[in-house]
Amino acid sequence: MADASGILGEYKLKIDKALSDFFDRKIKDAEAIDSSAADIMKSLKEFNLRGGKRIRPALMIHGYKCFGKPAEKDIISASLAVELMEGFLLIHDDVTDQDDLRRGGPTFHKIYERRYSSLKRISPKRFGENIAIVAADIQNSLANEALAMSNFPAENINSALKKYHEIALKTESGWLIETMIYAKPASEVTEKDVMKVNTFKTAAYTIEGPLHMGAMLAGTGEDNIKTLSSFAMPLGQAFQLQDDILGMFGDEKKLGKPVGSDLKEGKITLLIVKALEKANEEDKKTLLDALGNKDLARKELDGVRKIIKDTGSLDYSRKLAEKLINQAKRALEKADFRKEGKDFLIGIADFLIKREY
Amino acid sequence: MADASGILGEYKLKIDKALSDFFDRKIKDAEAIDSSAADIMKSLKEFNLRGGKRIRPALMIHGYKCFGKPAEKDIISASLAVELMEGFLLIHDDVTDQDDLRRGGPTFHKIYERRYSSLKRISPKRFGENIAIVAADIQNSLANEALAMSNFPAENINSALKKYHEIALKTESGWLIETMIYAKPASEVTEKDVMKVNTFKTAAYTIEGPLHMGAMLAGTGEDNIKTLSSFAMPLGQAFQLQDDILGMFGDEKKLGKPVGSDLKEGKITLLIVKALEKANEEDKKTLLDALGNKDLARKELDGVRKIIKDTGSLDYSRKLAEKLINQAKRALEKADFRKEGKDFLIGIADFLIKREY
């Protein structure tokens, strides 16, 4: 059995190095244009290197390794595309969600809101958001460039680029679906609604997309792409369920963010849906009052956690996540993939469900 | 001499038809996902078909025609990429500029702000902007898809996609440069500043980018790409100068928007820079008071127009635009391009400077 967590750690170092070098080149290019363009590149570098497990590029690399042995340098360069895509999506997401914190530091718009707090002709808040909107667009282009410039056959790059935009479209559709679902009363949101959001908003760009892009760079055929989907979709769902559980019951130090923040933001996870289904009227009221309450006290959060446990909702999510992980692993059983790639995928499935951060 | 304006009109019909068909397919795809995703596609269709001269796709088509005779259907499909790119940039631009009107209708964020005016959990303004941020991201992916899916050799598509993101990066850098320039006092902004913004923010994605992308799809070499740049950069500058002149002195009915809106928004054009340079203290004060005054009265606007004329600033911009157009046309004189493409480029240069809308 491959030590997927160890391999992930090794690749994190390599990916971080490549990401840092990539941005240093971009900063240099931008300096030739204008100091303000260079300044944005520097901020993007800091933002992208601030944290992250690099699961997506590691999956892209091993999506390739299921079908061929790439030159290490080439596949790492190409894999920056999915890491940069995530950053681009997060920057826009933080603006739309009006979040202040990301990866233990200020969100991108907050960096500029604070740095230009004495602006007069435009409000610093507006200015910060404007810079973030455009900086994320820049990063989206950098992501495409990382892939387009990579050292693989043009046909394969082309397929991977098409996939990039198919995933981006799915993720953005997932965001839209979520936004519209949240416009209805929380007690009417169903398990099906939540799983649909998770499929489009998370599973596609976290697991399936990176694997497909790697596999496509290796030039594999439609059958293998389908097998990867059968692995990726349940794993992506399980990943999100585990994320929700950690967000509610995890260790703040390991997570690097306060527990309960999903709840405070009004995010309706499967934990909430199932707890609302089973709770008595009083507990239901407690849950609904807590949902979206930005000033939620620790005591109230503990009350919510107790309800999620007592109603069996936590168990429900845990068991569903386990079931999905097993489903994912079974999908690979008969797959005739190269050992190095396949072992990592099976190992990472176990890691993603057992992780504490 | 080619009737470039007539050819542009013919292509506008063909491009509009292709754009409409493209969105109809996307609406159908989105309906299979979710009604909210389909709704966004419908709004994007309306927004994109609302107006526009289709100069960018027409230039991309003729960039190709300088070097080869493409299948009409294939090059029109691919050329949607630059039209869709413009729409994506405009939607984000309208959010950052907080504009209400675009092409004679509401801006994208205003459509959703108004449609969801009774939302309670989120302000309709925030909601409209959020939808616009994500919808534009979706349109950016559609633009890439239109190019990636097109019927040309993979190598050529790849080069054109790289160019797409190079232009996007330039345009966004131009936006940043402009934003930072506008943070300094208006009277300190120089001709050089304004021309730099025009080069990055307008010339690249309006003229040079589309021509390069068409030429790259035809697989032409580096020399021809350079010749196209020598034509495109001065033409793009002249295009922006003419835009500024029309925005201040044009016919509102032909323009489809009120004159003086740049001034009211605080946009510092070359007309303003040169007028500030030459005006006496009293006129200078009138100009600075008018700049960024959203409630500017017609009488005050007329005062500004008189100063721009009396200081010789209007003449300066007109002459510079003419000089740039001649420079552009001269760059093509010795170019060994196919007649159909070259004639259109020369014709469009004259059209762009003489246009009244």
Reported as a pLDDT band with limits 50, 70 and 90, residue B287 is: very high
Identity at B96, one-letter amino acid code = T
Give the contacts of A226 (CB within 8 A, at least 6 positions apart).
Answer: none
Say which of B129, B175, B200 has its CB closest to residue A134. B175
- Mean pLDDT, range A271-279, rounded to an integer: 97
pLDDT for B15: 98
Residue A173 sits at the chain B interface (C-beta within 8 Å): yes
* CB-based contact, B292 to chain A, within 8 Å: yes
pLDDT at A58 over 90: yes
Q: For B203-256, write each residue's pLDDT tens digit.
A: 999 999 999 999 999 999 999 999 999 999 999 999 999 999 999 999 888 877
Chain B residue with CA closest to A193: the answer is B34
In this prediction, residue B266 carries a pLDDT of 87
pLDDT at A130 over 70: yes
Whether residues B176 and A96 touch (CB distance < 8 A) is answered with: no
Q: Is the pLDDT of residue B265 over 90?
A: no
Question: Is B149 near chain A, with CB under 8 Å?
Answer: yes
- Give the count of beta carbons closer than 10 Å to the beta carbon of residue A278: 15
Q: Reply yes or no on whether the pLDDT at B47 is more than 80.
A: yes
- Residue A78 Cα, gap to closest chain B Cα (Å): 14
Amino acid in position A315: D
pLDDT above 70: residue A57 = yes
Question: Residue B101's Cα: distance from chain center in Å?
Answer: 15
Is residue A117 within 8 angstroms of chain B, CB to CB? Answer: no
A179/B131 touch (CB, cutoff 8 Å), yes or no: yes
Tell if the CB–CB gap between A134 and B33 is shorter than 8 Å.
no
Instruction: Give me the total of CB pairs closer than 8 Å, taking one residue from chain A and one from chain B.
Output: 153
The answer to whether the CB of A58 falls within 8 A of the CB of A15 is yes
Q: What is the pLDDT of residues B123-144, one digit of tens each?
A: 899 999 999 999 999 999 999 9
Q: What is the mean pLDDT of residues A225-238?
A: 97
| Interchain CB distance below 8 Å, B292 and A121 | yes
Q: Check CB contact of A118 with chain B, cutoff 8 Å.
A: no
Q: Across the interface, do A158 and B157 touch by the CB < 8 Å criterion?
A: yes
Task: Give me the residues paired with residue A101 across strands.
Answer: A106
Dmax of chain A from CA atoms? 64
A183 touches chain B (CB under 8 A): yes
Mean pLDDT of chain A: 94
Measured in degrees and rounded to the nearest 5, phi and psi for residue B121 equal: -70, -15
Q: At residue B257, does pLDDT exceed 80?
A: no
Nearest to A169 among B141, B153, B161 (CB): B141
Assess A4–B contact: CB distance below 8 Å, yes or no: no
- Interface residue B176 vs chain A (CB under 8 A): yes
CB B175 within 8 A of CB B93: yes
Q: What are chain B's domains?
A: 4-354 (1.10.600.10)
Query: Does residue A176 sit at the B interface (CB-CB below 8 Å)?
Result: yes
Give the chain B residue whose CA is nearest to the CA of A126. Answer: B96
Alpha helices in chain A (DSSP H): 4-33, 35-49, 55-65, 72-97, 108-115, 124-148, 154-181, 191-197, 209-217, 222-249, 252-255, 261-265, 270-278, 281-290, 298-310, 313-333, 339-354
Distance CA A120, CA A131 (A): 16
Cβ within 8 Å of A, B 338-357: none
CA B352/CA B5 separation, integer angstroms: 9
What pLDDT does residue A1 have?
59
Contacts of B179 in chain A (CB under 8 A): 36, 127, 130-131
Judged by CB atoms within 8 Å, which residues 76-115 of A form the interface with B?
92, 95-96, 98
Going by the DSSP 8-state scheme, the letter that residue B187 receives in this structure is G
Going by pLDDT thresholds of 50, 70 and 90, the confidence category of residue A356 is confident
Cβ contacts of B161 on chain A, cutoff 8 Å: 144, 148, 158, 161
Nearest to B180 among A36, A126, A165 (CB): A36
Name the residue with higher pLDDT: B253 or B262. Answer: B262
pLDDT exceeds 80 at position A286: yes
Q: Report whether B108 contacts B132 (CB < 8 A).
A: yes
Binary contact (A140, B140; C-beta < 8 A) = yes
Tell me whether strands A101-102 and A105-106 are parallel, antiparallel or unpaired. antiparallel
Per-residue pLDDT of A242-258, as tens digits, reads: 999 999 999 888 877 78
Read off the pLDDT of each residue in B254-276 and give the average, rounded to a whole number: 89
- C-alpha B267/C-alpha B260 separation (Å) is 10
Q: What is the value of ipTM here, to two decimals?
A: 0.93
- The dihedral over CA atoms of B7, B8, B14, B18, expressed in degrees to the nearest 10, equals 150
> B344: Cβ–Cβ under 8 A, 6 or more apart, which residues?
B2, B4, B7, B58, B62, B65
Nearest residue in B to A165, CA atom:
B141
CB contact under 8 A, B36 and A144: no
For the residues of A146-195, what is the DSSP string, one character each?
A: HHHTSSS-HHHHHHHHHHHHHHHHHHHHHHHHHHHHTTS-GGG--HHHHH
Q: What is the β-pairing status of strands A105-106 and B101-102?
A: unpaired
Q: How many other C-beta atoms lie within 10 A of the C-beta of residue B15?
A: 23
Could you give the C-alpha distances from A85 to A186, A305, B171, in angstroms and in order?
30, 33, 19
Contact at CB, B172 and A30, closer than 8 angstroms? no
B158 and A162: CB-CB below 8 Å?
Answer: no
Helix, strand, coil percentages, rounded to 5, for chain B: 80, 0, 20
DSSP β-bridge partners for residue B106: B101
Q: What is the DSSP string of A191-246?
A: HHHHHHHIIIIIIIIIIIHHHHHHHHHTT--HHHHHHHHHHHHHHHHHHHHHHHHH
From chain B, the residues in CB contact with A175 under 8 A are 134
Nearest to A141 among B121, B168, B196 (CB): B168
* Chain A contact for B126 (CB, 8 A cutoff): yes
Contacts of A98 in chain B (CB under 8 A): 126
| pLDDT average, residue stretch B320-334 | 96
Structure confidence by residue, pLDDT tens digits, B61-76: 999 999 999 999 999 9
DSSP string for B41-109: HHHHHHHHHS----HHHHHHHHHHHTT----HHHHHHHHHHHHHHHHHHHHHHHHHHT--EETTEE-HH
Shortest Cα distance, chain A CAs vs residue B155, angstroms: 5
Helix axes B35-49, B72-97, angle to 10 degrees: 100
Q: How far apart (Å, rounded) are the C-alpha atoms in residues A105 and A241? A: 25
